[in-house]
Amino acid sequence: MHKHFEYSVSRKHAFFADLKGEQEFRRALTALIDSPVRIIYTFNRSTVISVRTNAKGIKSLRLQHAFRAADFKTMQALAFFVDGKEFDNKIIDRFLSKKQDLVKFFSRPRAEMQSIVYKGKFKDLEKALKKVTADYDIPLKGIRIAWSKPGKIQGKRRSIRFGSFSAQRSLIRIHPSLDSPEIPDYFVEFVVYHELLHALFPPKLAKNGGRRRVHTPEFRAMERRFREYRQAAEFEKKFISKHLG
């Protein structure tokens, strides 16, 4: 891991630490289950786990997304549940109690969770997010990314907000103006990197109790670690000059 990311993740995102990818978890759990099974992820809160068997004997296991953070012991209990074997249901109860923040997060209205659009006409934000987190060994999981709502760049503005990060929703939004063949990939990745830093370095209140410091010295130092930082900064100036000048 790069030295500049050797620190603990902020509490806001600590409950994402054990979260596995959908396919990764599906493969791992399926390997523990003896029966033919189809795993379906849900955003339910009242019924977090259920299993049904069709006429062909194939089982459908419906799991709340939070179970993707399950450890081996919990996964084994899930497998026994599906196969109809005896297991200690307290294992699952303890997991749900420990991961209640994650359960709550994945219990959001389905429309909100499914309205995430990350593939644009020219740019794939999910691909950019995965590349940046891998390239810089950023220890964050569960962060989502999407294009913000379309809008025109107009008026007498001197700046444009290329991206934003919501800690409450664990969501990065990117301005749709970047979905263009004229925008280099490194600039999109830089904006994604910048927003990930907001997840890692929450705003701090000034010592005198004044305004919040969003871009702390530590934040700026990390920002300059981006490999194409100079090119990205120069491109940003040219873009703003062209569209807002």
Residue 51 lies inside a defined structural domain of this protein = yes
Domain boundary pick from 53, 79, 112: 112
Read off the CATH number of the domain in which 128 is found: 3.30.2010.10
Same domain, 143 and 221: yes
Confidence band for 5, pLDDT divided at 50, 70 and 90:
very low
Domain boundary pick from 92, 112, 132: 112
Residue 38 lies inside a defined structural domain of this protein = yes
Count of C-beta atoms within a 10 Å radius of residue 142: 18
Residues 244 and 241: their CA atoms lie apart, in Å, by: 6
Q: Which residues sit opposite 51 in a β-bridge?
A: 61
Residue 234 lies inside a defined structural domain of this protein = yes
Residue 8 lies inside a defined structural domain of this protein = no
Residue 100 lies inside a defined structural domain of this protein = yes
Is 183 exposed, middle or buried, given 0-12, 13-18 or 19+ CB atoms closer than 10 A?
A: middle
Residue 3 lies inside a defined structural domain of this protein = no
Same domain, 75 and 170: no
The contacts of residue 223 (CB under 8 Å, 6+ apart) are 193, 194, 197, 215, 229
Same domain, 160 and 197: yes
Same domain, 121 and 240: yes
Same domain, 122 and 180: yes
According to DSSP H, which parts of the chain are helical? 22-32, 72-83, 89-98, 100-105, 110-114, 125-135, 185-200, 217-223, 229-244
Same domain, 58 and 102: yes
Same domain, 19 and 91: yes
Tell me which range, 49-63, 93-107, 109-123, is most confidently predicted by mean pLDDT.
Answer: 49-63
- Mean pLDDT, residues 84-95 taken together: 93
Q: Evaluate if residue 208 carries a pLDDT over 80.
A: no
> How confident is the model over 103-156, as pLDDT tens digits?
887 876 554 555 567 889 999 999 999 999 999 988 777 788 999 876 555 444
Q: pLDDT value at position 59?
A: 94
Expressed as residue numbers, the domain containing 205 is 117-244
Q: pLDDT value at position 159?
A: 63
Q: Evaluate if residue 80 carries a pLDDT over 90.
A: yes
Q: pLDDT value at position 57?
A: 87
Q: pLDDT value at position 8?
A: 36
Question: Strand, coil or helix: what is 40?
Answer: strand
Same domain, 154 and 88: no
Q: Evaluate if residue 211 carries a pLDDT over 90.
A: no
Residue 228 lies inside a defined structural domain of this protein = yes
Same domain, 137 and 237: yes
According to DSSP H, which parts of 69-124 are helical? 72-83, 89-98, 100-105, 110-114
172 secondary structure, DSSP code? E
Domain boundary pick from 59, 77, 112: 112
- Mean pLDDT, residues 71-75 taken together: 96
Task: Single out the residue of 149, 110, 153 nearest to residue 239, CA to CA.
Answer: 153
Same domain, 143 and 65: no
Q: pLDDT value at position 170?
A: 79
Same domain, 73 and 86: yes
Q: pLDDT value at position 9?
A: 40
Q: How many domains does the chain have?
A: 2
Same domain, 101 and 220: no
Residue 157 lies inside a defined structural domain of this protein = yes
